[in-house]
Structure 1
Amino acid sequence: MSMTTPPGWYADPGVPGSERWWDGNGWTAHTRPLGGAVPSYQQGGQQASRQPRSARRGRGVVLGGVAAGLVLVATVVAGITLFGDDGTKTVPRSAPTTGEPAPGPTDGGDETPTAEPSADPTVLVDQLNGITLPIPDDWEKSESAVDRAVTMTTVADRECPGETNRYCRYGRVMSSTATQTDAAGPEALAKEDIEDASDALYDEDSIGNSFYGGVTSHTVVRSGEVTVAGRTGYLVRWKVETGSGPGGHVQSLAFPSTIGAESLIVVRFAFDAGPEGPPLAGMDTITKGIRAIGDTTGGVGSSIGPS
């Protein structure tokens, strides 16, 4: 008699100390620390010239695709479609499995798995951080495993301005727990992260590809406090100019999680400029629509203005 392992969180056979979501048929891209514990971490208009990204590597937080080692691990372990830091398609899709056998009582499987990640196409679920983000029309969830960030992108793409035969998404949003940072709160974290976000999304990816010709300069267009899922957060938004194409807007939004040790979360936004890019107001709409998982009250978002 055959026995099917039910969906749930199980010990990741490829990454010790982590759990991966088993959907009943194969491993997915959803991961979290073993046991479900949330790790505890410490919590305009001026023109600026750029330094080479190589001079700034190794600082900030690990988010949105700045660690090449994790990209390689995620590619091998998850075996899924991988989008680059800027939404470029880089690896053909394979079956969502690590090549290891299905979990079960004999290999550490949990017989009482937690709730399945949402299949709602209008909501992006960051289960590790306990939040959901609204998915705008003409956007979709990404199966990216880059640094284990939970990601959504525009459905539409086009040939990358700085590369031929590569395709970039017009808009990208990714949510992740902040790590390796000395920032004492949301404001410090957002101000610390924005340069790394700009680098990762418009300058170079983790293996040195420059899909937009590199960032040549930036302008701070917005900076200030904002209420996110009932918590006080902070955002910084830049307009970046690139060597190729119309450039874009990058935003780092930092706020405390609503669960566990209230670790700081960073949501990174990248909206290409130009007539085909997403409306910039969409950043505010997504920010105001962030909710704690299970919150069906609609929440309260604040107006966002410059400091």
Structure 2
Amino acid sequence: MIDNDITFRKLEIFLAFMDKRNISRTADLLGLSTVSVHRALHTLEESVRCPLFIHQGRNLSPIPAAETLAEYAREVVGLMKRGIEETRKSGGVGQGRLKLGTLYSLTLDTVPRLIMGLKLRRPNLELELQMGSNQDLLLRLEDQQLDAILLSVSDTQIDPARFETLPLFNDDIFLAVPASAAHIVNGPADLRDFKDEKFVSLTEGFATYHGFQEAFHIAGFEPHIVTRVNDIFSMVNLVQAGVGCTLLPGRMKKIHDPAFRMLPLAAPYQMRQTIALVFARNREHDPDLLALLAEGRMYALGRRTSEAQAAPSLTAETSGRPGL
């Protein structure tokens, strides 16, 4: 029976020592202390229940029994490494293909910029992009149908024991109205002033759905929803066509169209989404995901820098206005 204390790590240290024949050089090679190397060799010898080394002065020298163990250890460790490689291939890990899930709205800016940066880091990476609601994306990630997802984590329960989360940016929610709407204000919009307006909404499970419900709960009335849709671009099209108003994240301002306007919400209704990159903790060493994570950090840093640079100029613009 194999002793529980015989581990692959100890065998790797043992094989490195058999190559170097010196504890200090073995420690340098593996980035360990000499004490750790000596302890690994000593406990391995105890677990094998057979002498493997002799002391010659201050040096430790292998005897023929150690050479025999090394022969089999190389075979076992090599076989295990090949087994892990094949396992990763079967699991689609580190094979130059990444399945990324995202909210529809993030395809306006965030996703293209991440993809461009990722392709510079890993030119041969094949990227498959899938879009869906917050709820749908998280379910597909849990079922391992996706390798990583981009979604709003503000109203989503992410299990920290299973998933890593990298926040990318925060996004405020606005009231989107057709340009022809009766109530268009220059300042923050009070939802109570839009009580008689018609509204369009996303279906349950999307990032803005919960906020939509909460905002009108605070406003104290049930909005007249004329239709519900399954993607944010269809909702924008309906607003542009004058079908109704809705709530949209600020990132949708990139759609420059005079047919609709996005108004800031008054203080009681203000909401903010946190957009984040989420992936499974057990995939944190996947080189493709590490590249995506690095690009995500660069994107987040760029957003923070841009916002910090914009803040002083905004303050300068408003500081001279009476009453501000």
TM-score by length of 2: 0.21
TM-score by length of 1: 0.22
Task: Please tell me whether Structure 1 or Structure 2 has the larger radius of gyration of its CA atoms.
Answer: 2
More helix by share: 2
More strand by share: 1
